[in-house]
């Protein structure tokens, strides 16, 4: 099964769980200055809008960023950030509640690449292995990251080396998630 198919199924499981619990698709605070192709309907009376992941056509690419940073991003990482537009997905793995980051729009994808650049340059300055974050945890300074040299999905504190491997790769990470 491809990472794109796994992500699609993850989005579907997340949306189904939200619908079962709340009667709506996942929701996010609406920002008229930050539109997304995955918004569904109009904002409700509380300023929330429903969203549903949509396939990006063409897919977003991190190739130019990888060249500029002189690193190699695993193909699965490229697909993770490039295949869909969507909101964040909350899930659990290995006893950790995580919030997986997704690109909300083309503008958000550009901002994401800027943040990845800053993260990789910080790791370089600290003489640590290069990682790219893919999610957050309940702890403000604890990230879910992909270790570029191995493709492993790890936990790392901001400014520190990865300290706990969650999965051998993104594919097994996504498979192991519960929503």
Q: In angstroms, what CA-CA distances link 159 with 11, 46, 156, 175?
A: 30, 37, 8, 28
**In angstroms, what CA-CA distances link 62 with 17, 52, 70, 127?**
31, 23, 12, 23
- The Cα-based distances of 66 to 74, 104, 105, 148 in angstroms read 10, 21, 20, 11
Query: Residue 140 has what pLDDT?
Result: 87
Give me the pLDDT at residue 67, please. 95
For residue 162, count CB atoms less than 10 angstroms from its CB and return exposed for 0-12, middle for 13-18, buried for 19 or more: buried
Q: Which of 95, 99, 114, 104 is nearest to 30 (CA)?
A: 104
pLDDT tens-digit series, residues 72-130 = 999 999 999 999 999 999 999 988 999 999 999 999 999 999 999 999 999 999 999 99
| Segment 25-46 mean pLDDT | 94
Q: Tell me the domains of the chain and their CATH numbers.
A: 3-176 (3.40.1580.20)
pLDDT in tens, 6-21: 999 999 999 999 999 9
The whole-chain average pLDDT of the chain stands at 95
Q: Which residues of 143-158 are buried (b: 16+ CB within 10 A; e: fewer)?
A: bbbbbbeebbbbbbee
pTM of the model: 0.93
Confidence (pLDDT) at 94: 87
Structure tokens at 76: 């699965």
């Amino acid at each position: 099964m491809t990472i794109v198919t796994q992500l699609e199924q993850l989005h579907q499981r997340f949306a189904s769980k939200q619908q079962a619990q709340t009667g709506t698709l996942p929701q996010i605070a609406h920002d008229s200055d930050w539109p997304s192709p995955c918004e569904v309907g109009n904002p409700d009376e509380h300023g929330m809008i429903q969203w549903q992941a949509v396939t990006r056509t063409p897919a977003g690419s991190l190739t130019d960023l990888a060249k500029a940073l002189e690193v190699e991003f695993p193909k699965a990482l490229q697909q993770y950030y490039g295949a869909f537009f969507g909101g964040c997905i909350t899930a659990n793995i290995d006893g950790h509640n995580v919030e997986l980051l997704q690109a909300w729009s083309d503008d958000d994808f550009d901002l994401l690449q800027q943040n990845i650049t800053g993260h990789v340059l910080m790791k370089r300055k600290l003489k640590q292995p290069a990682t790219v974050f893919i999610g957050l945890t309940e702890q403000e300074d604890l990230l879910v990251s992909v270790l570029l040299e191995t493709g492993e999905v790890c936990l790392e504190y901001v400014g520190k080396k990865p300290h706990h491997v969650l999965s051998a790769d993104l594919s097994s990470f996504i498979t192991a998630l519960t929503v």
